[in-house]
Amino acid sequence: MWADRRVLDLLGIELPILQAPMAGANGAAMAIAVSQAGGLGALPCAMLDGERIRAEMGTIRQQTAKPVNMNFFCHTPAPPDAARTAAWQAALAPYYGELGVDPGAAAPAPARAPFDDVLCAIVEDVRPAVVSFHFGLPAPDLLGRVKRAGCTVLASATTVAEARWLEDHGCDAVIAQGAEAGGHRAMFLATDVTAQPGTFALVPQVADAVRVPVIAAGGIADGRGIAAALALGAAAVQVGTAYLFTPEATVSALHRRALADARDDATAMTNLFSGRPARGIVNRLMRELGPMADVAPAFPTAGAALAPLKAKAEAAGDSGFSSLWAGQAAGLGRMTGAAELTRQLAADAAARLKALAGG
């Protein structure tokens, strides 16, 4: 059925569909459903502690023997910067006042930890078929341990230069993340958001530049998108936003409602919620401060000052201070189970390719 089997054979999967690991938005249930359906399910580990990662992977292991992807961030955490934090809180002061929120109030803030020795030891214990990284790759000694544990290594590139770097540093396949993609840009060499290429331009240029297979990501939410990605030279796709519509997604009701209403022009890249550029549905904070603002402190610290605003607003049914991650193809999303979605995407893509060639 699939003309290019490189990713299928590399990862040991049946369908050329990887579920994008979405930190905070999916756990074991989605990974199990996608892997059981023949795609590659993923557990995003960046916002989980070691104990929780072991527990989720234990659940996955009980439910499926199929390959699964463990995903980690590998940013270098910025040192605390009291001046920038103060400037950020000052920028948010009108909102604290309006919502009657104490800036110092305890509220659950997202913790995003980079891949380290402790997490690597878990990988060595669990030995997942696949480990993927965002924001580059970990230090060579850690990467070597992951590879010696028998894991296939993937990572995301937002430019041709990043794809070449990942290949040179040992990635077994490269995820080409076009600008349409929801959530955090993988940018680790690139610094200029305005120059980030879209999926249409990125995928063929990456495919020409590297020898490892390319997995296309960004704006792919139905069978047409998968067929198109394969036409561009990708050997598989990574799909995120479409899976946010499944019952397995662990997103809030507010996020789910925003996704259901999102049109093609509803999203923008923003650094307000974490300090790094990420695509989300435009809401009040993004509109009023501008989606990319120098005042937001470095990743991953920007979210802490927003946490009490988010908590208070969400309690009142207001998502104006929440990160509503979504890609530009959210308008194509439909409510379906994650397993059914995986099978449907593959069947639609295959049918589309057949129809196009048969004319």
What is the contact surface with a second copy in residues (CB under 8 A)? 1-5, 159-161, 178-180, 190, 192, 194-202, 204-206, 208, 218-220, 222, 224-225, 227-233, 263-269, 282, 291-292, 327-329, 331-332, 352-359
When the beta carbons of 141 and 192 are compared against a second copy, the nearer one is 192
Q: Which of 72, 67, 59, 68 is nearest to 29 (CA)?
A: 59
Q: How many CA atoms lie within 13 A of 249 on its CB side?
A: 29
Q: How far is the CB of 5 from a second copy (least distance, A)?
A: 8
When the beta carbons of 126 and 324 are compared against a second copy, the nearer one is 324
When the beta carbons of 47 and 282 are compared against a second copy, the nearer one is 282
Which tokens hold the place of 295?
A: 């005042």
Termini Cα distance of the chain: 18
When the beta carbons of 160 and 175 are compared against a second copy, the nearer one is 160
Q: How far is the CB of 333 from a second copy (least distance, A)?
A: 11
Q: How far is the CB of 19 from a second copy (least distance, A)?
A: 18
Which tokens hold the place of 157?
A: 């590139």
DSSP string, 142-170: HHHHHHHTT-EEEEEESSHHHHHHHHHTT
When the beta carbons of 103 and 204 are compared against a second copy, the nearer one is 204
Using CA atoms of 30, 49, 136, 86 in order, give the dihedral in degrees to the nearest 10: 120
When the beta carbons of 118 and 189 are compared against a second copy, the nearer one is 189
Residue with tokens 């980079």: 114
Among left, alpha and beta (phi > 0; psi -120 to 50; other), residue 317 is left
When the beta carbons of 2 and 85 are compared against a second copy, the nearer one is 2
Q: How far is the CB of 112 from a second copy (least distance, A)?
A: 24
Q: How far is the CB of 240 from a second copy (least distance, A)?
A: 12
Using CA atoms of 240, 242, 248, 250 in order, give the dihedral in degrees to the nearest 10: 60
Q: How far is the CB of 26 from a second copy (least distance, A)?
A: 21
What beta strand segments (E) does the chain contain?
17-19, 41-44, 68-73, 130-134, 152-157, 173-177, 183-184, 214-217, 236-239, 267-270, 278-281
Q: How far is the CB of 179 from a second copy (least distance, A)?
A: 6
